[in-house]
Amino acid sequence: MTGRTGTDGVKRIEAPLTDTVINSLKAGDKVLLSGFIYTARDAAHKRFSEALEAGRELPFDIRGQVIYYCGPAPAPPGKVIGSCGPTTSSRMDSYAPGLISLGLKGMIGKGKRSEAVKRALKEHRAIYFGATGGAGALIARTVVAADVIAYEDLGPEAVLRLEVKDMPLFVVNDIFGNDLYEAGIERYKR
């Protein structure tokens, strides 16, 4: 899907992401994401790094994919998943440039990213989305399926494949070097 903008100004996009979609997104855009994404936090990223250093493959083909920095709570009875809010993205900053260079196209989290991550986003044409912290129960409503695909021993930090429908996000860092957080500070200064 190339993405479409509704009359409400919200862009509806699907994962895995294509360059066409990436090229259409700018910092500040409101997005509803549907499709398949993967959860991974600190411990999973460490294992990704160890696998790559040992010449092993990652547990999923990372090309075009979106990683959600999230460690979901257990699913309550009758639900697909428990609360699944974003975690602080900067904890994955040491791993992100390498994964982006391998074809990762999107990341979802909260908070600012390092200059190295922002450079990798520009160089390899990827995007960083922000999800609203504290809204994990609401975000969980957008998850229609969840399956552990790797590192089950990590409990809530295991890698899950999520199917999401209209997950509300905003573009924080785009391929053009724009940063929503920095733009907000500049607007406030005026």
Q: Is residue 104 part of a domain?
A: yes
What does the pLDDT read at residue 1? 43
Range of the domain at 155: 11-189
Comparing CA positions, the residue from 150, 174, 141 lying closest to residue 21 is: 174
Q: What is the pLDDT of residues 86-145, one digit of tens each?
A: 999 999 999 999 999 999 999 999 999 999 999 999 999 999 999 998 889 999 999 999
The CATH number of the domain holding residue 161 is 3.20.130.10
Q: Is residue 162 part of a domain?
A: yes
Q: Is residue 5 part of a domain?
A: no
Q: Is residue 50 part of a domain?
A: yes
Q: Is residue 52 part of a domain?
A: yes
Question: pTM (2 decimals)?
Answer: 0.93
| Total domains, the chain | 1
Question: What does the pLDDT average to over 46-57?
Answer: 97
Q: Is residue 1 part of a domain?
A: no
Cβ atoms < 10 Å from Cβ of 190: 4
Q: Is residue 2 part of a domain?
A: no
Q: Is residue 56 part of a domain?
A: yes
Q: What is the pLDDT of residues 7-34, one digit of tens each?
A: 678 999 999 999 999 999 999 999 999 9
